[in-house]
Every structure is written in C-alpha cells, then in structure tokens.
Amino acid sequence: MRWLPKVLLAVGLVASVDDEPATNDLQPTAELPAGVLDDQTPALRYLVHIELQKPVDSESGELTPYVTIQSRIDPSAIYYVTLEFKSLTDPDHYTTIGQANVNPTAQVAATGPQTTWGMCSTDPCVEDYELTIRRPAAPGLVVDLGGHVDLTTYGASQATPQTAQAITIMGPMP
C-alpha cells in the first residue's frame, strides 16, 4: 500500500507520524466519566481541557460532547435533560445547547460543536471548556450519564511528527 497511515492513539492523545505530509485530521476521543442526576444533584459539571502541541498556522478544530442519558425508571411525563457547553478560555465565545428526552432506553445527546484553536499563540495551545448537564425538576427521576468528547483538528496537512493533541476531562462535579 502506497499510503499507510501510522497514527498513534492513546487515551485521548493523537500524534501525526506519517511518512508523507499528513493528510488526516487529528481526532482524539476521551470518555466522559459516569455521573448520576437525581433529586440531590440536579446538575453536574465537567471541565474539558484540551492541548495542541506544535500547532501550525492553518489549524482549526471542533470539540463536541456526546452524552448518553438513561433514566432508571419510565417517567410518567416527557422530560428533557439539557446540555450546555461553553468556552472558559474565551468567555465571549458562543455557548452551545443540546437536549435529550429522558426514558429507560439510552439516548445520546450532543450540543453543537465548539470551535477550537482560534486563539493559539503559544505552544502548547491550551483551551478549557465547561459542560453542564441539568435534569428537569421531576421528583424521584434518576438519570445515569456517560459518553465521550470528540476533538477534531483540521489543517493537519501541515502537521509535523511532533504535532499532538490531548483531552483531559475532570468531573463530574455538582
């Protein structure tokens, strides 16, 4: 095979090590630690920290959380869990919102992606985000959470073997 990708994947870390200039986007994924929403904890927060080492000028990216939502009981009414995803690095950046119906069958909810690497001026480039998940006011409703966060960096065609990304997720926190 003329083109043989050699991409190292390791717990949310991707490094470009192609023999020819990279043409793939860098795409690490990190697992979202499990959490539970209930009467005592109606909202949970996760802090998402991303790093890009050896950035190149043309890189931009998207960071998207995918949250698995599953209630422990069949609710008697229709309820929605709300996801809010915002940049802590650039508070003026837009906030993305997502919703998912709560029921005993696992549902995957996502917010729109956040644009990343727009303010890179150092190496490594570091950005922080906050994901807040809220359940409705419904006494006795218990919702289990899980999922993952995807980070895609575009413009990796100029990446060097030292270009790498990492995602760290801290949480859940009430």
pLDDT for 158: 58
pLDDT for 165: 85
Please tell me the distance from the alpha carbon of residue 52 to that of residue 116, in angstroms, as a whole number.
10
**How many residues would you count in the chain?**
174
The domain ranges of the chain are: 7-173
pLDDT for 43: 97
pLDDT for 34: 96
Which single residue is written with the structure tokens 């650039």? 90
pLDDT for 35: 97
Single-letter amino acid, residue 81: V
> Residues 99-150: pLDDT tens digits?
988 989 888 888 889 988 877 777 888 999 999 999 998 999 999 999 999 9
DSSP string, 33-83: PPEEE-SS-SEEEEEEEEEEES--TT-EEEEEEEEEEEESS--SS--EEEE
Instruction: Look up the CATH number of domain 7-173.
Output: 2.60.120
Pairing of strands 13-16, 164-173: antiparallel
pLDDT for 25: 59
Please tell me the distance from the alpha carbon of residue 33 to that of residue 20, in angstroms, as a whole number.
37
Which single residue is written with the structure tokens 């959380």? 65
> Residues 67-93: pLDDT tens digits?
999 999 888 888 999 999 999 998 888
pLDDT-derived band at 15, boundaries 50, 70, 90 = very low
pLDDT for 2: 35
Q: Is the pLDDT of residue 42 over 50?
A: yes
Q: Which residue has the higher pLDDT, 150 or 152?
A: 150
Global confidence as pTM = 0.80
Q: Is the pLDDT of residue 21 over 50?
A: no
Please tell me the distance from the alpha carbon of residue 37 to that of residue 76, in angstroms, as a whole number.
17
List CB contacts of 49: < 8 A, sequence separation 6 or more. Answer: 126, 127, 128, 129, 167, 168, 169, 170
Please tell me the distance from the alpha carbon of residue 67 to that of residue 44, in angstroms, as a whole number.
12
pLDDT-derived band at 58, boundaries 50, 70, 90 = low
b/e map 147-165, b = 16+ CB within 10 Å: bbbbbbbebbeebeeebbb
**Cβ 53 vs Cβ 123: under 8 Å:** yes
